[in-house]
Amino acid sequence: MRLAIIEAQKALESDEIPIGAVIVVGDKVVGRGHNMVESLIDVTAHAEIMAITAAASTIGGKYLTDCTIYVTVEPCPMCAGALAWSQIGRVVYGAADPKRGYSRFGKEMLHPRTEVVSGVLSAECEELMNAFFAKLR
Protein backbone atom coordinates (compact mmCIF):
# COMPACT_ATOMS: atom_id res chain seq x y z
CA MET A 1 0.00 0.00 0.00
CA ARG A 2 3.00 2.29 0.53
CA LEU A 3 3.71 2.06 -3.22
CA ALA A 4 0.06 2.82 -4.05
CA ILE A 5 0.30 5.93 -1.84
CA ILE A 6 3.40 7.02 -3.79
CA GLU A 7 1.30 6.63 -6.97
CA ALA A 8 -1.47 8.72 -5.41
CA GLN A 9 1.05 11.44 -4.56
CA LYS A 10 2.01 11.59 -8.25
CA ALA A 11 -1.66 12.26 -9.07
CA LEU A 12 -1.79 14.98 -6.40
CA GLU A 13 1.28 16.67 -7.90
CA SER A 14 -0.58 16.80 -11.26
CA ASP A 15 -3.70 18.31 -9.62
CA GLU A 16 -5.60 15.06 -10.06
CA ILE A 17 -7.78 13.45 -7.39
CA PRO A 18 -5.03 11.54 -5.56
CA ILE A 19 -5.72 7.86 -6.05
CA GLY A 20 -2.99 5.34 -6.77
CA ALA A 21 -2.88 1.61 -7.47
CA VAL A 22 -0.23 -1.08 -7.64
CA ILE A 23 -0.69 -4.69 -8.77
CA VAL A 24 1.66 -7.37 -7.45
CA VAL A 25 2.26 -11.08 -7.89
CA GLY A 26 3.96 -12.26 -4.70
CA ASP A 27 6.44 -9.47 -4.00
CA LYS A 28 6.85 -8.43 -7.65
CA VAL A 29 5.15 -5.30 -8.97
CA VAL A 30 3.56 -6.05 -12.37
CA GLY A 31 1.49 -2.89 -12.84
CA ARG A 32 1.01 0.54 -11.36
CA GLY A 33 -1.12 3.55 -12.12
CA HIS A 34 -2.47 6.80 -10.79
CA ASN A 35 -5.52 8.81 -11.62
CA MET A 36 -4.95 10.71 -14.90
CA VAL A 37 -8.53 11.71 -15.77
CA GLU A 38 -7.75 15.42 -16.14
CA SER A 39 -4.40 15.15 -17.89
CA LEU A 40 -5.65 12.59 -20.42
CA ILE A 41 -9.15 14.18 -20.62
CA ASP A 42 -10.56 10.68 -20.18
CA VAL A 43 -13.01 9.55 -17.50
CA THR A 44 -11.74 5.97 -17.88
CA ALA A 45 -8.16 6.86 -16.84
CA HIS A 46 -8.57 5.77 -13.21
CA ALA A 47 -5.57 4.39 -11.29
CA GLU A 48 -7.00 0.85 -11.27
CA ILE A 49 -7.67 0.80 -15.04
CA MET A 50 -4.11 1.97 -15.76
CA ALA A 51 -2.71 -0.66 -13.38
CA ILE A 52 -4.87 -3.49 -14.82
CA THR A 53 -3.79 -2.64 -18.38
CA ALA A 54 -0.13 -2.46 -17.29
CA ALA A 55 -0.29 -5.74 -15.33
CA ALA A 56 -1.91 -7.67 -18.18
CA SER A 57 0.78 -6.35 -20.50
CA THR A 58 3.58 -7.37 -18.08
CA ILE A 59 2.10 -10.82 -17.49
CA GLY A 60 1.14 -11.36 -21.13
CA GLY A 61 -2.36 -12.52 -20.19
CA LYS A 62 -5.65 -10.82 -19.44
CA TYR A 63 -6.48 -12.74 -16.25
CA LEU A 64 -4.97 -11.54 -12.98
CA THR A 65 -6.06 -14.48 -10.80
CA ASP A 66 -2.70 -14.66 -8.97
CA CYS A 67 -2.49 -10.91 -8.44
CA THR A 68 -3.33 -8.49 -5.65
CA ILE A 69 -4.25 -4.89 -6.36
CA TYR A 70 -3.46 -2.32 -3.70
CA VAL A 71 -5.50 0.82 -4.23
CA THR A 72 -5.66 3.86 -1.95
CA VAL A 73 -9.46 4.36 -2.22
CA GLU A 74 -12.35 1.92 -2.62
CA PRO A 75 -12.80 1.27 -6.37
CA CYS A 76 -15.75 2.84 -8.20
CA PRO A 77 -18.25 0.61 -10.10
CA MET A 78 -16.31 1.04 -13.38
CA CYS A 79 -13.09 -0.15 -11.78
CA ALA A 80 -14.85 -2.94 -9.85
CA GLY A 81 -16.31 -4.11 -13.18
CA ALA A 82 -12.83 -4.10 -14.73
CA LEU A 83 -11.43 -6.00 -11.72
CA ALA A 84 -14.26 -8.53 -12.10
CA TRP A 85 -13.38 -9.14 -15.76
CA SER A 86 -9.71 -9.59 -14.75
CA GLN A 87 -10.73 -12.18 -12.12
CA ILE A 88 -8.13 -10.61 -9.82
CA GLY A 89 -7.24 -12.71 -6.77
CA ARG A 90 -7.33 -9.99 -4.12
CA VAL A 91 -8.38 -6.36 -3.76
CA VAL A 92 -6.80 -4.41 -0.90
CA TYR A 93 -7.99 -0.85 -0.47
CA GLY A 94 -7.38 2.01 1.94
CA ALA A 95 -10.11 4.61 2.38
CA ALA A 96 -13.76 3.63 1.98
CA ASP A 97 -15.86 5.68 -0.46
CA PRO A 98 -19.51 5.32 0.58
CA LYS A 99 -20.69 7.79 -2.10
CA ARG A 100 -18.74 6.69 -5.18
CA GLY A 101 -17.46 3.23 -4.21
CA TYR A 102 -18.65 -0.05 -5.73
CA SER A 103 -19.93 -1.54 -2.47
CA ARG A 104 -23.22 0.35 -2.62
CA PHE A 105 -24.03 -2.05 -5.52
CA GLY A 106 -22.96 -5.07 -3.47
CA LYS A 107 -19.93 -7.35 -3.47
CA GLU A 108 -21.38 -9.19 -6.49
CA MET A 109 -19.74 -6.49 -8.60
CA LEU A 110 -16.42 -8.29 -8.11
CA HIS A 111 -15.59 -11.84 -9.23
CA PRO A 112 -16.91 -14.45 -6.74
CA ARG A 113 -13.37 -15.71 -6.09
CA THR A 114 -11.89 -12.25 -5.39
CA GLU A 115 -10.90 -11.69 -1.77
CA VAL A 116 -11.36 -8.14 -0.41
CA VAL A 117 -9.42 -6.42 2.39
CA SER A 118 -10.36 -2.85 3.32
CA GLY A 119 -9.08 -0.11 5.61
CA VAL A 120 -5.35 -0.65 5.05
CA LEU A 121 -3.47 2.60 5.85
CA SER A 122 -6.84 4.28 5.40
CA ALA A 123 -5.90 7.36 7.45
CA GLU A 124 -3.00 8.19 5.11
CA CYS A 125 -5.08 7.48 2.01
CA GLU A 126 -7.89 9.69 3.28
CA GLU A 127 -5.49 12.44 4.26
CA LEU A 128 -4.30 12.69 0.65
CA MET A 129 -7.90 13.01 -0.55
CA ASN A 130 -8.65 15.65 2.12
CA ALA A 131 -5.52 17.60 1.14
CA PHE A 132 -6.70 17.67 -2.48
CA PHE A 133 -10.26 18.77 -1.75
CA ALA A 134 -9.08 21.36 0.80
CA LYS A 135 -6.92 22.91 -1.95
CA LEU A 136 -10.00 23.20 -4.18
CA ARG A 137 -11.98 25.18 -1.61
8 A C-beta contact, residue 33 and residue 58: no
Element (H, E) at 70: strand 68-73
113 binds a second copy (CB under 8 A): no
Q: Does 69 bind a second copy (CB under 8 A)?
A: no
Query: Under the criterion CB under 8 A, does residue 36 sit at the interface with a second copy?
Result: no
| Catalytic entry in 13, 48, 74, 108 | 48
HSE-up (13 A, CA, CB side) for residue 53: 10
**Looking at 13, 15, 62, 107, which residue binds a second copy (CB under 8 A)?**
62
Encoded amino acid at 105, one letter: F
Q: For residues 119 and 129, what is the distance between their CA atoms, to the nearest angstrom?
A: 15
Q: Taking CB under 8 A as the rule, does residue 91 contact a second copy?
A: no
Considering the complex, state which of residue 4 and residue 56 has its C-beta at the smaller distance from a second copy. 56
Is 48 assigned a catalytic role? Answer: yes
Active site residues: 48
